[in-house]
Copies of this chain bind each other. A is one copy, B any other.
Amino acid sequence: MAGVKKRFVIPEEIRVEVEEKGGFERIIKELPRDEIRMVAKVMNTLSDPQRVKILYALKRQRMCVCMLRKVIGSSYSRCSYHLSKLKKGGLVHSERLGNYFIYSLTPFGKSIVKHFKKYRPEVRT
């Protein structure tokens, strides 16, 4: 009949474990929604190798856009697009120096770059 919700069944072996933790609904309710959103946002900002490369380069040395575009091998506008994403994500910031814009890591950007090594599968423990 229409509108009948089919009850879903958790396999026995798993249900035991779930009950020990206060039930499925509770596990769901206790997920840290804000943290999840933030993590996904940062991950998304860095989901492109060129943007990650920019971050690595800036970790070593602040640079103007004409340098950064050499680093990733791209046009100005492409580089600018990536930089604006990184900026919107709060990872880099820029200041004008004459005709140039000098980009560098924000404290937040630095704190993240610091943990990059965690993302090498070699680290599997």
Tell me the A residues contacting B by CB distance below 8 Å: 8-11, 13-14, 17-18, 21, 24, 27-28, 30-32, 35-40, 42-44, 46-49, 51-53, 56-57, 60-64, 66-67, 70-71, 90, 97-98, 100, 102, 106-108, 111-112, 115-121, 123-125
Q: How far is the CA of A77 from the CA of B97 in the complex (A)?
A: 52
**Can you name 9 A-B residue pairings with CB atoms under 8 Å?**
A11-B100, A14-B61, A27-B60, A31-B56, A36-B53, A39-B46, A39-B119, A43-B46, A108-B121
Measured CA separation A72–B42 after assembly (Å):
19
Instruction: State the majority secondary structure of interface residues on A.
Output: helix
Known: A57-B31, A108-B124, A111-B124. A119 touches B10 (CB 8 A): no
